[in-house]
Amino acid sequence: MTGGHWGHHERKPDVSYDSVADPRAILAECAGAAGLSPGMAAFPRTGTLAQRFQANPFLMAPMAGVSDAAYRLMARAGGAALAYTEMVSVAGLHYGGEKTWELVEPWDPEPDIAVQLFGSKPEQFREAASLVASRLRERLALLDVNMACPVPKVTRKGEGSALLDEPDRAADIVRSCLAGLRGAGSDVPVTVKIRAARRTGDAEVAPEFARAMADAGATAVAVHGRTASQLYRGEADWGCVERVVQAVDVPVIGSGDVRGPAEAVRMMEQTGCSAVMVARGTYGNPWAFADARRLCAGLEPLEHGLRQRLAAFACHVRLLDATHAHLARARSLAAWYFKGVPGAAAIRDRAMHCQTVTEYLELADELLGRIG
């Protein structure tokens, strides 16, 4: 689909695409033009979790279907202190599929990873925690339990946000994770991710529930200030994050409506939370983390012009390929990175028809040619 597009630019695509390139080499090659940092700091391993968040409190949130290895590499290269896996089924790990393990393994040069588990059976959590710790060793930075997912397929089985209705079982799960880690010789933090409540109109459960999880041994609590029945719609209630901060002694990680660096910093100031998860605010914006840190340091966030966005898109697509992801994910990436590009609708439409990495890269290169 590309050949005919080049003639009138008198410019051949400068796409020297090497499908065997590894992510480290890709990042080393692309980082400059994409405004990213190819070197990634490991998440600090010593001190309390609150102390570890101090240097950099901006985390890439877990997102099923999104936060794959390429996405996490972009986030870490964009300054995230840590990036979470998509939620991973403890039953899936129990039944031992290599496909499930692919979700858990950090991908070099990702220095370490936060693994998020979901399920309902404490015994399966104990086993999963032990297996993950044994397999990842020092590359496991943190283990998080999903008590927030609102999807009926998940909650029907008593998993995800259904656990908000079962604090005793949830506490058991936290203890089981700690036991599993201990058995594998690991002392990484166990955290939980919760929502304000299950249903809109219900009394807010998050503060009391968070206290129960901290009492069971959770080292931190992440709070998404929406009810599960809100799914991802409506406004997130940062007041809920603040009430959890006031209810517990452990660090709180805030989530919800962190649309960019300014909101990330504002959420910390408003709620007193110790760290922030950036979720949809990272769509087409891997720089959100470094920019938030600049804001904290009293500096202006950097401008990310079209040239840089196109370079970041190309880098991301190459990373998708190098990490064996399904290339269909590049379609959403095109929509996100090309937002605001002149003629964006037509370009996104073309991106929908790209079949190969080369086609995506040629499309980005053509757009680059247009801006001269």
Ligand X SMILES: Cc1cc2nc3c(=O)[nH]c(=O)nc-3n(C[C@H](O)[C@H](O)[C@H](O)COP(=O)(O)O)c2cc1C
Binding site for ligand X (CB under 6 A): 61-66, 86-87, 116, 146, 148-149, 193, 224, 232, 236, 255-258, 277, 279-281
Peptide bond preceding 109 in cis form (omega within 30 of 0): yes
Long-range contacts (CB closer than 8 Å, 24 or more residues apart) made by 257-264: 257/225, 260/285, 260/288, 260/291, 261/288, 261/289, 261/291, 261/292, 261/294, 261/295, 261/301, 262/295, 262/301, 264/58, 264/288, 264/292, 264/295
Closer residue to ligand X in complex, CB, 197/361: 197
Q: In this structure, what are the phi and psi dihedrals at residue 88, rounded to the nearest 5 degrees?
A: -120, 130
CB of 346 to ligand X, least distance (A): 26
Q: Of 223 and 361, which CB lies nearer to ligand X in the complex structure?
A: 223
* 143 residue type, one letter: L
The closest alpha carbon to 340, from 300, 309, 301, 303, belongs to 309
Q: Which of 240, 212, 211, 208 is nearest to 226 (CA)?
A: 240
Q: What is the Cβ-side half-sphere exposure of residue 181, based on CA atoms within 13 angstroms?
A: 23
Smaller CB separation from ligand X, 186 or 191: 191
DSSP-derived 3-state class of residue 144: strand
Residue whose C-alpha is closest to residue 194's, from 217, 172, 220, 216? 220
Per the CB < 8 A criterion, the answer to whether 66 and 49 are in contact is no
The residue (of 74 and 279) whose beta carbon lies closer to ligand X is 279
Instruction: Specify the residue for token string 């079962």.
Output: 166
- Shortest distance (Å) from residue 86 CB to ligand X: 5
Which of 149, 177, 240, 315 is the catalytic position? 149
CB of 288 to ligand X, least distance (A): 10
CB of 102 to ligand X, least distance (A): 15
Tell me which amino acid residue 355 is.
Answer: Q
Read off the tokens for 23.
Answer: 């992510």
Q: Could you tell me the smallest distance in angstroms from the CB atom of residue 137 to ligand X?
A: 24
Any catalytic annotation for residue 296?
Answer: no
Two tokens, residue 10: 């008198």
Nearer to ligand X, 291 or 362 (CB): 291
Q: What angle do CA 147, 283, 42 make, to 5 degrees?
A: 70
In terms of CB distance, is 66 or 74 closer to ligand X? 66
Q: To the nearest whole angstrom, how small is the minimum distance from the Cβ of residue 66 to ligand X?
A: 5
Tell me, what amino acid is at 205? Answer: V
- Closer residue to ligand X in complex, CB, 18/235: 235
Q: By three-state DSSP, how is residue 277 classified?
A: strand
CB of 163 to ligand X, least distance (A): 12
Tell me the C-alpha distance between 334 and 363, whole Å.
Answer: 10
List, by residue number, the catalytic residues: 149
